[in-house]
Chains A and B, each alone.
Chain A
């Protein structure tokens, strides 16, 4: 019989006695290695300093006991009920990211408050972080009762004040317990010192915490982690891999991939060394599927079941977030947003308000500093699929990456409108109803020796876009590539003949129809070269979304750059030399060629 294991985190302000409480729990549940208690006691005697239970933890964490409390450490203890992994989280403000790392892995939390010092800044900040991280089981331990002569009155005052604060942030603690870690009161047994407290001990409360369960009852959600095709050993399975966050799915179920809206059917559930062929699978498993229809999907897609609650799709979102970065969250800088397995470029559009996590005071601001929490609007470069937190918290949480590091985390509150919502719905509808060929994208790529890819040549009027497009088409054609040049004008006078108005609002409709044509050419496996005037990055993102093309190469032409496009290449001179044409082809190589 395997033991049950629960992760708990101990948080609170610095020096409020977290290590002492943990040391007590370890010693009084006899969870210490043989001789450790005696060894530490003897050590104290030798150095003539009084023994403290906190030393036990230091001794366990690092025999040298130096430079250690700066980071999260783990230790185990055992009760008659089950085994626990304690994540000790540092109380210093500057280690908030370590506290969050510890707390995020916990199923329940102990928050320690010093009865003598009372509620301090990090007593509040840590509780706020627990609520943002989604920890629902909280026990408040009012420590060092011996220092206030076990005063029930003082205890009650702390309880009343702190309960009020917790109410504000939506946390309901399971209990408040008056303890003394030093004396051992109320930790594993009730104490004569506190006759007025006759409820559960710390240990009893810990044992009554509920083990968190996978969300099997919610709608099916699986972020696609990867698509595998390992050709070695004659394995021809194309496996969609990921971990199921919620719900369950069976062979034969119709599934949809968002944000594209592409549809397929689960053909089989794949697992290595499984005793039998699986027919259904549920939340918590890292698994793989093969699909009946060979549709094009990619890492980051959210797999859901038909007829279950649909996720939200948006490229503008309102979020609440906490910031940990060394530099503040600012406008005009590019970040990455990661949610599940998806990763998209993101910009801060607006800060609605910033809040001090300890005082709960709000203020207006245009930036978010380290350790602040805020409600913000984010603009994403491409749409993502997510759920509202009330429907599924796992698929509503995201992190922001600044430079190379995770610098913040948050919860999406809801989607915001943007001007391409209508277009997006049409694209999803088209994808859902697409009649899929039996020849997969990969098969075509292998046969043609090229990936379907899109070369965008845009820029100023008279900058030589069309000339370059033609020379490049010729050059690639000569190499045996299946390449086609399509100027936007070819669509405007044909497919778009019914659009009379030439105003700015119609530009997006022209672009939509142009993208639909591109989608067909790319689906057929072509390399397509397009030319269009002054494309913006938003417009490029739209084309990308409509065609699902991941292999884009953007060339800007002209003396000046007049849009915000993030080009791969900027050509100022109208006349392209043969050497330059060769260089362009070299840069394209990785995009279009299928490697051996």
Chain B
């Protein structure tokens, strides 16, 4: 069995465990390549269906192509698509760089806080109505007890310490020093009321694995990852004020794989273009302890 197939089958197993063990389950879809691979794996796990909602935290600062691509795929694949955002912070202009606060606090409000509110159901959830093609306020505001997230352990320091099933307490806090053991494919699926579990099926994947899998399965990805003739492309996607494209002439998946294997990015971290990482000491640990993905 080759390595990609091994990764694929392990991730499918984890997705199915999550679906069987959590009554209120959702999957975070950031529109990026990792969570899109995750979405594809879910279609594999459930034989073409996705039996839980996909949640996108829309900071309102996402690059417009991302939203367009999200809705196109949601319609084509019949996804149960939900988005949430921190409407208060946006109204009060507690944002960066056009508002009153710095990058880290902007992340805190538009991502971490928005995520918390959307997961708990305290914040509004907008669901795609496939009949009209429009988003409507979702009537279901039950808290999600299981949240599938596409983080990879090779992305940055704190993510390398994650478990496949990682419990978060009532305040979304993550106790890195005291995590449950995980062995023999047995995961933490029992949890106290009020807490939730983050599920990480992609933990063992690398950036290169992701691209090789996209190539093998021909998974549609957003065009921002490819050079459109301006010798620039995004290596990692986020909000436009804090995510910068990299110099690259890779125009398709095959060229990206080549670039990662032996080209200019072979020894440079993927999130090098993310400004908030640097301000968080490079480790993202502070943000992630508070509930950042």
Give A contacts to B, CB under 8 Å: 2-5, 32-34, 60-64, 67-68, 70-76, 85, 97-98, 100-101, 103-105, 133, 213-214, 225-226, 228, 230, 232-233, 235, 237, 239, 241-243, 270-273, 284-286, 288, 299, 324, 336, 338, 341, 397, 399, 401, 403-406, 409
Collect the chain B residues with CB atoms within 8 Å of residue A242's CB. Answer: 16
Known contacts A2-B3, A404-B191, A73 near B44 by CB under 8 Å: no
| A-B pairs with lowest CB-CB distance, top 5 | A104-B183, A63-B282, A97-B181, A286-B12, A62-B157
Contact present for B186 and A226 (CB under 8 Å): no
Of all chain B residues, the one with the shortest Cβ separation from A99 is B181
Contact present for A101 and B161 (CB under 8 Å): no
Q: Digit string of B1-16 for contact with A (CB within 8 Å is 1, else 0)?
A: 1111110011011001
B46: interface (CB < 8 Å): yes
Inter-chain CA distance A133–B182, complex, in Å, is 12
User: What are 8 sample pairs from A and B whose C-beta atoms fall under 8 A apart?
Assistant: A63-B282, A73-B157, A73-B160, A230-B51, A271-B44, A286-B12, A324-B181, A406-B186
Of all chain A residues, the one with the shortest Cβ separation from B203 is A74
Give B contacts to A, CB under 8 Å: 1-6, 9-10, 12-13, 16-17, 19-20, 43-49, 51, 78, 153-154, 157-158, 160-161, 163, 176-177, 179-184, 186, 188, 190-192, 204, 206, 212, 217, 267-269, 281-283, 285
Known contacts A62-B283, A73-B161, A2 near B191 by CB under 8 Å: no
Contact present for A404 and B161 (CB under 8 Å): no
Inter-chain CA distance A61–B176, complex, in Å, is 13
Contact present for A71 and B184 (CB under 8 Å): no
Contact present for B44 and A272 (CB under 8 Å): yes
Measured CB to CB, the closest approach of chain B to A3, in angstroms, equals: 7
Contact present for B181 and A74 (CB under 8 Å): no
Contact present for B190 and A336 (CB under 8 Å): yes
Measured CB to CB, the closest approach of chain A to B113, in angstroms, equals: 23
Inter-chain CA distance A404–B154, complex, in Å, is 29
Contact present for B3 and A4 (CB under 8 Å): yes
Contact present for A63 and B186 (CB under 8 Å): no
Collect the chain A residues with CB atoms within 8 Å of residue B48's CB. Answer: 230, 233, 235, 272
Collect the chain A residues with CB atoms within 8 Å of residue B179's CB. Answer: 71, 97-98, 101
Contact present for B16 and A286 (CB under 8 Å): yes
Known contacts A2-B4, A284-B9, A272 near B157 by CB under 8 Å: no
Inter-chain CA distance A399–B182, complex, in Å, is 10
Inter-chain CA distance A471–B153, complex, in Å, is 60
Contact present for A63 and B78 (CB under 8 Å): no
Contact present for B267 and A101 (CB under 8 Å): no
Contact present for A101 and B1 (CB under 8 Å): no
Contact present for A104 and B47 (CB under 8 Å): no
Collect the chain B residues with CB atoms within 8 Å of residue A32's CB. Answer: 267
Measured CB to CB, the closest approach of chain A to B108, in angstroms, equals: 18
Inter-chain CA distance A239–B204, complex, in Å, is 28
Measured CB to CB, the closest approach of chain A to B285, in angstroms, equals: 7
| 18 more A-B residue pairs beyond the given contacts A71-B176, A225-B16, with a C-beta to C-beta distance below 8 A | A4-B3, A61-B157, A64-B283, A71-B179, A74-B153, A74-B154, A100-B181, A213-B1, A232-B49, A233-B78, A237-B47, A241-B16, A286-B9, A338-B186, A405-B180, A406-B180, A406-B188, A409-B184
Known contacts A61-B157, A214-B1, A226 near B19 by CB under 8 Å: yes
Question: Which of A213, A225, A235, A288 gathers the greatest number of chain B CB atoms within 10 Å?
Answer: A225
Known contacts A63-B281, A232-B78, A71 near B2 by CB under 8 Å: no
Contact present for A34 and B267 (CB under 8 Å): yes
Of all chain A residues, the one with the shortest Cβ separation from B267 is A34
Measured CB to CB, the closest approach of chain A to B165, in angstroms, equals: 10
Inter-chain CA distance A44–B228, complex, in Å, is 43
Contact present for B1 and A71 (CB under 8 Å): no
Contact present for A62 and B182 (CB under 8 Å): no
Contact present for B3 and A5 (CB under 8 Å): yes
Collect the chain A residues with CB atoms within 8 Å of residue B281's CB. Answer: 63-64
| Residue in contact with B212 in the complex, picked from A2, A103, A271, A406, CB distance below 8 Å | A2
| Residue in contact with A226 in the complex, picked from B4, B20, B204, B267, CB distance below 8 Å | B20
Collect the chain B residues with CB atoms within 8 Å of residue A63's CB. Answer: 157, 281-283
Collect the chain A residues with CB atoms within 8 Å of residue B212's CB. Answer: 2
Inter-chain CA distance A64–B4, complex, in Å, is 33
Contact present for A406 and B1 (CB under 8 Å): no
Inter-chain CA distance A71–B285, complex, in Å, is 14
| Residue in contact with A104 in the complex, picked from B2, B20, B182, B192, CB distance below 8 Å | B182
Contact present for A399 and B190 (CB under 8 Å): no
Measured CB to CB, the closest approach of chain A to B274, in angstroms, equals: 13
Contact present for A284 and B1 (CB under 8 Å): yes
Collect the chain A residues with CB atoms within 8 Å of residue B45's CB. Answer: 241, 286
| Residue in contact with A230 in the complex, picked from B2, B47, B161, B206, CB distance below 8 Å | B47
Known contacts A235-B48, A324-B181, A401 near B157 by CB under 8 Å: no
Contact present for B176 and A67 (CB under 8 Å): yes
Inter-chain CA distance A60–B46, complex, in Å, is 37
Measured CB to CB, the closest approach of chain B to A234, in angstroms, equals: 12
Of all chain A residues, the one with the shortest Cβ separation from B1 is A284
Question: Which of B20, B78, B192 gathers the greatest number of chain A CB atoms within 10 Å?
Answer: B20
Collect the chain A residues with CB atoms within 8 Å of residue B267's CB. Answer: 32-34
Inter-chain CA distance A284–B12, complex, in Å, is 11
Known contacts A64-B281, A71-B161, A225-B13, A133 near B19 by CB under 8 Å: no
Collect the chain B residues with CB atoms within 8 Å of residue A228's CB. Answer: 46-47
Of all chain B residues, the one with the shortest Cβ separation from A216 is B1
Collect the chain A residues with CB atoms within 8 Å of residue B1's CB. Answer: 213-214, 284
Collect the chain A residues with CB atoms within 8 Å of residue B154's CB. Answer: 74, 76
Measured CB to CB, the closest approach of chain A to B51, in angstroms, equals: 6
Contact present for A404 and B192 (CB under 8 Å): yes
Collect the chain A residues with CB atoms within 8 Å of residue B6's CB. Answer: 284
Collect the chain B residues with CB atoms within 8 Å of residue A33's CB. Answer: 267-269
